Structure 1
Amino acid sequence: MAAYTPVEAIELASRTGAKKGYMRPEAVFLSAISAGCLLSFASASFLIITTSPQLQEDAPGLLKMLGALIFPFGLVIITITGADLCTASFMYTTLAVLHRRLSLPRMLLHWVLTFWGNLAGALIVVILIFGAGGVFAKDPYRSHVAEFATGKQVTPEFHQVFLRGVGCNWLVALGLYLSLFSRDVVGKVVGLWWPVFAFVLCGMDHVVANMFFMPMALWIGETPGLTLGLYIWKGIVPALIGNIVGGSVFVAGYYWFVYLRNGQDDGSGVLVDGVGYQGTSSKRVGTDTSC
Structure 2
Amino acid sequence: MGNFLTPKEIAKTYDEISVNKARNSVGNLIILGILAGIYISFAGFASQMISHAIDNPGLAKFASGAVFPVGLMLVVMAGAELFTGNNLMVIGAMDKKISFGELFRNWIIVYLSNFVGAILFAFLISQSGLLDTNSGLLGAMVIKTAVNKVSIPFGQAFVRGILCNILVVLAVWMATAAKDIVGKVFACWFPIMLFVMSGFEHSIANMYFIPAGIFVSSNSTYITAGKIHAEALAKLNIGGLFGNLIPVTLGNIIGGALVIGMAYWYVYRHTDKKFDGTINQ
Query: Fold-level match, TM-score > 0.5?
Result: yes
What value does the CA root-mean-square deviation take over the aligned residues? 1.4
Q: Partners of 1:76 and 1:275 in 2: how far apart?
A: 31
Matches within 5 A, 1:57-76: 59-76=56-73
The corresponding residue for 2:48 is 47
Runs of 4+ in 1 over 6 A off after TM superposition: none
The corresponding residue for 2:85 is 88
Shift of 1:146: 1.6
CA contact 2:68–2:193 (8 Å) conserved in 1: yes
What is the SS of the residue equivalent to 1:23? coil
Matches within 5 A, 1:180-219: 180-219=176-215
Q: Does 1:230 align with 2:240?
A: yes
Q: Partners of 1:17 and 1:209 in 2: how far apart?
A: 23
Q: Partners of 1:34 and 1:41 in 2: how far apart?
A: 10
What is the SS of the residue equivalent to 2:274? coil
More helix by share: 2
Q: Partners of 1:152 and 1:9 in 2: how far apart?
A: 34
Q: Does 1:242 align with 2:251?
A: yes
Shift of 1:145: 1.1
Shift of 1:99: 1.2
Q: Partners of 2:44 and 2:254 in 1: how far apart?
A: 23
- Give 5+ residue unaligned stretches, structure 2: 219-231
Shift of 1:192: 1.5
CA contact 2:142–2:213 (8 Å) conserved in 1: yes
Cα shift readout 1:53-112 (whole Å, capped 9, x = no counterpart)? xx33xx210110011000000100111122001111112x21110111000111111011
The corresponding residue for 2:75 is 78
Q: Partners of 1:162 and 1:17 in 2: how far apart?
A: 26
Of residues 99, 122, 127, the one that matches 1:132 is 127
The corresponding residue for 2:260 is 251
The corresponding residue for 2:102 is 106
The corresponding residue for 1:142 is 139
What is the SS of the residue equivalent to 1:2? coil
Cα shift readout 1:104-132 (whole Å, capped 9, x = no counterpart)? 111111011001100111111112x2022
The corresponding residue for 1:283 is none
CA contact 2:29–2:109 (8 Å) conserved in 1: yes
Q: Partners of 1:44 and 1:253 in 2: how far apart?
A: 33
Q: Between Structure 1 and Structure 2, how many residues are aligned?
A: 260
TM-score (norm 1): 0.86
Q: Partners of 1:113 and 1:104 in 2: how far apart?
A: 14
Q: Partners of 1:172 and 1:76 in 2: how far apart?
A: 11
What amino acid does structure 1 have at the position aligned with 2:237?
Answer: T
Shift of 1:250: 1.1
TM-score (norm 2): 0.89
* Identity score, percent: 27
The corresponding residue for 2:216 is 220
- Comparing 106-115 with 11-20, greater Cα deviation is found at 11-20
CA contact 2:84–2:252 (8 Å) conserved in 1: yes
The corresponding residue for 2:17 is 16
The corresponding residue for 2:4 is 3
Shift of 1:276: 5.6
What amino acid does structure 2 have at the position aligned with 1:14?
Answer: D
The corresponding residue for 1:26 is 27
